[in-house]
Amino acid sequence: MKVLVTGGLGFIGSETVVALLEAGHEPIVVDNLCNSKIGVIDRIETITGVRIPFIQADCRDKEAMDKIFSSYQIDGVIHFAGLKAVGESVKLPLKYYENNLLSTLVLIQAMEEHGCHNLVFSSSATVYGDPGELPLKETTPLGTTTNPYGETKKMIERILTDYAHVHPEFNIALLRYFNPIGAHPSGLLGEDPRGIPNNLLPYVAQVAIGRRDHLNVFGDDYPTPDGTCIRDYIHVLDLAEGHVATLNKLNENPGLVIYNLGTGKGTSVFEVIKAFEKASGVKVPYVVAPRRSGDVTANYANVDKAEKELHWKAKRSVEDACRDAYNFQKANPEGIA
């Protein structure tokens, strides 16, 4: 399949491009480079031997999107493009609503006009809010989201669901990711945030190589076995392979489908730190800080549906992800050039 990957030079997007190439697909990447680096294209080529077609454009630009669909016979789209920093979304809600919603609306319009009917949407477990019961199933009622970033994901899910109801020719997969971590084992691709990392593992890795003094653990008084928050951490390579499996599912013309992509197992912040220290051989200094507003106590997936319908299962461990993240950070102490 010829697959348009929006935001395809980002953390999850770039790993998915590699997985698509390895599965024999032809990815075309569009990215506005607001939170990614152009050098990722060279690194994808080093790993796969393929120079991917790349268009620097914003998905909100209707003219640019029309031009892409006119230039390539696109069979399906994986939509990663969007702003994703939870804390920033609280401070700049309009920026998040405008960017994330408009980019999706323009994309869907372009797909409809050019006869492309297969879409995989990058959603998030944040749509479940603060869960009343665990593990989370796709049928679990969506909760109250705790930040504008999460609300944009929830709103886009609703838009796509409503759209699918009146466009039965469209096949749309809503993929609810849990917590992607890790890096490509080559050390060439990994999570490379601009500024201070918002996510746990890149922060831990930067502390491990001495780029930052210590890690802040936000709260150790949660009602969990060790007092720290529990999340479902999934290796980014497993997540990327889940996208390839989902594309195969869309070829069956299933209409609208929803899948959790996680491991089905919760891991606490302290357990991640221990796994990282074991994988890297480096002690990670940390300070317990006050809780962050918006953090839920625990969140992990039931992944039975994805295993059954996509024939996909996460197979890499948290320790594998820690080792790969550390190797990426050591090889790229200041990030990707």
Contacts of 231 (CB under 8 A, 6+ apart): 178, 179, 266, 267, 298, 299, 300
Contacting residues for 141 by C-beta, under 8 A, at least 6 apart: none
* DSSP H or E stretch at residue 146: none
pLDDT band at 38 (very low <50, low <70, confident <90, very high): very high
Is residue 107 within 8 A of residue 65, CB to CB? The reply is yes
| Interval 42-96: pLDDT, tens | 999 999 999 999 999 999 999 999 999 999 999 999 999 999 988 889 899 999 9
pLDDT at 98 over 80: yes
Contact 309, 242 (CB under 8 A): no
Model confidence band, residue 18 (pLDDT cutoffs 50, 70, 90):
very high
Query: What is the pLDDT, as a whole number, of residue 132?
Result: 83
| pTM: predicted TM-score of the whole model, two decimal places | 0.97
Report the C-alpha gap between 72 and 160 in whole angstroms.
24
Determine the Cα–Cα distance for residues 239 and 15; give it in Å rounded to an integer: 9
Euclidean distance between CA atoms 323 and 9, whole angstroms: 22
C-alpha distances (whole Å) from 198 to each of 45, 89, 157, 290 are: 28, 12, 24, 16
* Confidence band for 227, pLDDT divided at 50, 70 and 90: very high
Write out the two tokens for 219.
């709260």
Q: What is the pLDDT of residue 253?
A: 97
Q: What is the structure's pLDDT at 21?
A: 98
Q: Which residues are catalytic?
A: 149
pLDDT band at 137 (very low <50, low <70, confident <90, very high): very high
CA distances from 220 to 27, 176, 180, 214, 287 (A): 43, 27, 22, 16, 10
- Per-residue pLDDT at 337: 83
CA distances 190 to 99, 114, 239, 322, Å, are 24, 33, 13, 11
Residues 192-209: tens digit of each pLDDT:
988 888 889 999 999 999
Residue-wise pLDDT for 261-296, tens only, equals: 999 999 999 999 999 999 999 999 999 999 987 788
